[in-house]
Structure 1
């Protein structure tokens, strides 16, 4: 694995999974407030890491953090709002989503095969990524997406990638 550590605010259950789907498909921003309850405690613990920057894992291609035509906000934007307030680190955008496919619905192994070619480094960030990064995503399912993003970041100068998600699928 290329990431250093994964921190999830809670384990996914049916109710939380349904809420996350509402956040993603119905654009229900208040759900992100509920899902991020307790984040301040985790972020205060991360202060000792002296992180350099934060990244929202891109969900859509077209060199954007998210596609505003499909979603009015990134599902992980609430995670960043709290991160910015508590850790005071900048949001950077070094990753580009190159695949139009989604990870959802793919088998465990297919997620890793797809992730391998789903992102790339933006040319302005090649060999110039900060040393310690906090990568934000909505859910940690298999780890394929954050693992591949971490691999690309490390290939371009990052030493440590910490991952923060609302939910984690527990085994």
Structure 2
């Protein structure tokens, strides 16, 4: 069975502290709003939307609270789930406290299963280094799940699984 996924990446939304932003004609917040408007305007239907990483450029708890509110509104409006992953410009502790309303953990990774596919959302953020990293704990978790499933797997993550030399 065919599944449709809309992937949005590297949103780098402006944070509330006014931290340095990339020089762009439109703000990242305006661009993301335009993306969601296009999805609605063109009646794009998907099983889900994946926003893969760098959600808020060095955001704080309040930024992730506002992001969660915006994502919930977009989910309701578009009538499709939105899943996220973290990137090297995200702040894991602030994400857990603001977006998830949970006690912080070191990594944010999870699995979503449909009748035909397993979707894995991995966390390549590692001490905010640019190239990212998948730790053994997460790789072992992924390996166990892949070995126990007969579904095809689709993996979402911010960084490449290896760096070309």
Question: TM range, normalised to the smaller chain?
Answer: 0.3 to 0.5
Q: What's the TM-score once normalised by structure 1's chain length?
A: 0.32
Greater helix fraction, Structure 1 or Structure 2: 1
**Larger relative contact order (Cα-Cα within 8 Å, sequence gap ≥ 6):** 1
Q: What's the TM-score once normalised by structure 2's chain length?
A: 0.33
